[in-house]
Chain A
């Protein structure tokens, strides 16, 4: 943890300046992510063709032409690595958005209505018991592989975690006087949920979103690695590693380049999440 500096009176302290000074992990995570996101967006500008293959150049080491060498089909590892960021970020962000949106609604309703609660939470316990990767494998096996299916398959097992979190927040504020006051004055349930309860869930959900994003990127890579994820025509960090596994000894860069990116991106998301958690919830900052 960063040392807590004594309160300094400045002209314009500001939320941002305070964050930068006291939570450097947020800055480190955000900057690294911004660089990766920029790279993914500008992929056609900063990298060559990720699909073109030249069997003559197969398994070449890093050179001026191929910055990170070539893989077993003679494809440019650097170009594939840059394009691979697109799938990882797309899956990470979409899974976080979808699972939070659905989990939030279910959690609000379950937390507010005790009767719905029992049924819904039992159902969530059931989904949580199914290993995430197997659920995704099964869904891909049934429906067929595509980026959309992978996103949905990874989002489903995350929903119960969001639901539990939101429900816990709802339960903790449901009986507070200000909510009772709103009920007594005849406010509609939808409005109570939206105006009086929802705002309490925002901070924990932002933190949760980063962790979901990190775990979704890892699961997507795992699925691609096992050959049950994103179709092989898209370069992903997972399928780059899978297709190079036999060449670990003679061409280690084909595995470690995408592996490094994967670790770096997930690490940045986790750092961002840890920093945001400390920033938004000072009570637990001390402990974790």
Chain B
């Protein structure tokens, strides 16, 4: 088990190296001087020259990549051109709202999605099933920000049940914090719910057709234990896989959702960096979010072995 986890952990290194190469080359393959791009639009010749020598942009490409990657491995993601603060510091300052939003969304979305997916598979072909599948197609189709503004319009502006936007730190109380996260979580989670509900239904349908389910039903096991203990547990591997892959959807969604609801998180940090052409921030957040995706999928791989003892690589 431990050996397997270590092997999987080591396997993430080449993936992260490729992410690094890609992010690094993006800046260097682009037409124009990388130093000028990093310096931004209002930079003087001296600024550009200073950046070039500080980042060693006059050295060979491979040497540059080496020192850049070495710095990242030590947690140094460079310095923001706008605020002159280390990118790592800026990201850490903005981490709480993003983590809070992502966690609430994950918990709410997965519980809703698996529930409706199981129900749809159980009552396959029924009105409920059709409603769930229809909802799933809708969920894929409506963009995060359109859902967000619809929710704000109805629940914040018209009904006045929930705040329009903003974020309250968790240190000021759990409920004030959650109140501000309800609408963003629903908007962000919709596509994710659709994705997971669909795979849950498909995977459950496969398992429910198995002989042992018929046996369990025939010997009089109650419906709920059959669905949960016999079926869902065996249908879990594809569901967990999609939960992992879907995190990519969630990360892209976070960037947009934070913009819609004015949440001062890591996503907003990037969006603000676009207008300021603050390339080190964009680069740093790209590395961090890619790392999150890789780690989540590493966890998924490890969860497999608990769900299905037959899986041993």
Please list the residues of chain A having a beta carbon within 8 angstroms of any beta carbon in chain B.
1, 122-123, 125-135, 137-143, 214, 218-219, 221-222, 225-228, 241, 245, 248-249, 252, 255-256, 259, 262-263, 266-267, 270-271, 274, 286-288
A138 touches B290 (CB 8 A): no
Please list the residues of chain B having a beta carbon within 8 angstroms of any beta carbon in chain A.
14-19, 21-23, 26-27, 30-31, 37, 125, 137-138, 140-146, 149-150, 152-153, 157, 198, 202, 205-206, 248, 251-252, 255-256, 259-260, 270-271, 273-275, 277, 279, 282-283, 285-286, 289-290, 293-294
Besides A130-B289, A266-B142, 9 other A-B contacts (C-beta < 8 A): A122-B15, A126-B22, A133-B255, A142-B26, A214-B140, A241-B146, A256-B149, A259-B143, A287-B206
Most chain A Cβ neighbours within 10 Å, of B18, B138, B141, B283: B141
**Chain B nearest CB, measured from A119 CB (Å):** 10
Most chain B Cβ neighbours within 10 Å, of A128, A221, A255, A274: A128
- Kindly state the separation between the CA atoms of A238 and B92 in the bound complex, as whole angstroms: 30
| Sample of 5 A–B contacts (CB below 8 Å) | A137-B270, A141-B282, A225-B259, A259-B145, A270-B140
**Chain A nearest CB, measured from B268 CB (Å):** 10
**Chain A nearest CB, measured from B275 CB (Å):** 6
B140 touches A227 (CB 8 A): no
B293 touches A287 (CB 8 A): no
Closest to A215 in B: B140
- Given the known A-B contacts A125-B15, A134-B282, are A259 and B146 also in contact in the complex, defined by CB atoms under 8 Å? yes
A219, A221, A226, A241: the one contacting B271 at CB < 8 Å is A226
Most chain A Cβ neighbours within 10 Å, of B138, B252, B259: B252
- Given the known A-B contacts A131-B286, A134-B270, A245-B149, are A141 and B279 also in contact in the complex, defined by CB atoms under 8 Å? yes
- Kindly state the separation between the CA atoms of A226 and B21 in the bound complex, as whole angstroms: 26
Chain B residues within 8 Å of A141, by CB: 37, 273-274, 277, 279, 282
A266 touches B19 (CB 8 A): no
A227 touches B27 (CB 8 A): no
Chain A residues within 8 Å of B146, by CB: 241, 255-256, 259, 262-263
A137 touches B274 (CB 8 A): yes
B140, B144, B152, B286: the one contacting A130 at CB < 8 Å is B286
**Chain A nearest CB, measured from B69 CB (Å):** 13
Closest to B198 in A: A288
B252 touches A132 (CB 8 A): yes
A123 touches B143 (CB 8 A): no
What 4 A-B pairs come out closest when comparing CB atoms?
A: A126-B18, A259-B146, A267-B141, A133-B252
Chain B residues within 8 Å of A126, by CB: 14-19, 21-22
**Chain A nearest CB, measured from B108 CB (Å):** 21
A263 touches B143 (CB 8 A): yes
- Given the known A-B contacts A141-B277, A141-B279, A259-B150, are A131 and B206 also in contact in the complex, defined by CB atoms under 8 Å? no
A214 touches B141 (CB 8 A): yes
B30 touches A130 (CB 8 A): no
Closest to B289 in A: A131
- Given the known A-B contacts A141-B282, A248-B149, A248-B157, are A287 and B202 also in contact in the complex, defined by CB atoms under 8 Å? yes
A270 touches B137 (CB 8 A): yes
B22, B27, B153, B256: the one contacting A252 at CB < 8 Å is B153
- Given the known A-B contacts A138-B282, A141-B282, are A256 and B150 also in contact in the complex, defined by CB atoms under 8 Å? yes
Closest to B144 in A: A222
- Kindly state the separation between the CA atoms of A183 and B260 in the bound complex, as whole angstroms: 57
Chain B residues within 8 Å of A137, by CB: 255, 270, 274, 282
**Chain A nearest CB, measured from B12 CB (Å):** 9
Closest to B138 in A: A267
A131, A134, A221, A248: the one contacting B153 at CB < 8 Å is A248
B256 touches A225 (CB 8 A): yes
Chain A residues within 8 Å of B285, by CB: 134
B22, B143, B294: the one contacting A262 at CB < 8 Å is B143
Chain B residues within 8 Å of A134, by CB: 251-252, 255, 270, 282, 285-286, 289
- Kindly state the separation between the CA atoms of A197 and B210 in the bound complex, as whole angstroms: 34
B30 touches A142 (CB 8 A): yes
A226 touches B150 (CB 8 A): no
**Chain B nearest CB, measured from A210 CB (Å):** 12
Chain A residues within 8 Å of B138, by CB: 263, 267
Chain A residues within 8 Å of B144, by CB: 222
A127, A143, A255, A270: the one contacting B149 at CB < 8 Å is A255
**Chain B nearest CB, measured from A33 CB (Å):** 13
Chain B residues within 8 Å of A227, by CB: 271, 274-275
A266 touches B275 (CB 8 A): no
- Given the known A-B contacts A131-B252, A287-B206, are A222 and B286 also in contact in the complex, defined by CB atoms under 8 Å? no
A131 touches B293 (CB 8 A): yes
- Kindly state the separation between the CA atoms of A286 and B125 in the bound complex, as whole angstroms: 11
A130 touches B153 (CB 8 A): no
- Given the known A-B contacts A130-B286, A131-B289, are A222 and B145 also in contact in the complex, defined by CB atoms under 8 Å? yes
A142 touches B150 (CB 8 A): no
